[in-house]
């Protein structure tokens, strides 16, 4: 997750500036989400990515990600909980 999320600009893939940024600044870190880059959607995305990574590990086959909490500001946060 550090290489795909940490210190990245989070945008929607539908945003036309994603392509512009990638062309003008190929080394700029951009995370293009399939939907609007809200805190709620970022929590869901991180849950999916963390779950995918965890499933690929042989050391804890029954482990799973139950909940991801994203704190955007001191008064705004979102959580995604596995069903």
Q: Along the 83 residues of the chain, how does pLDDT read in single tens digits?
A: 777 788 899 999 999 999 999 999 999 899 999 999 999 999 999 999 999 999 999 988 889 999 999 999 999 999 999 88
Residue with tokens 């870190």: 29
Give the model's pLDDT for residue 69: 97
Give the model's pLDDT for residue 50: 92
Q: What share of the chain is helix, strand, coil (3-state, %, to 5)?
A: 30, 25, 45
Comparing CA positions, the residue from 82, 73, 19 lying closest to residue 51 is 82
Residue with tokens 């809200």: 38
**Largest interatomic CA distance in the chain:** 44
Are 13 and 33 a contacting pair, CB within 8 Å? yes
């Amino acid at each position: 997750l550090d290489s795909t999320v940490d210190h990245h600009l989070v945008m929607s893939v539908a945003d036309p500036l994603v392509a512009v940024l990638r062309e003008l600044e190929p080394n700029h870190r951009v995370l293009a989400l399939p939907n609007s880059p809200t805190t709620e959607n970022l929590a869901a995305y991180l849950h999916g990515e963390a779950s995918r990574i965890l499933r690929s590990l042989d050391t804890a086959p029954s482990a799973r990600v139950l909940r991801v909490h994203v704190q955007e500001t001191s008064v705004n946060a979102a959580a995604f909980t596995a069903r």
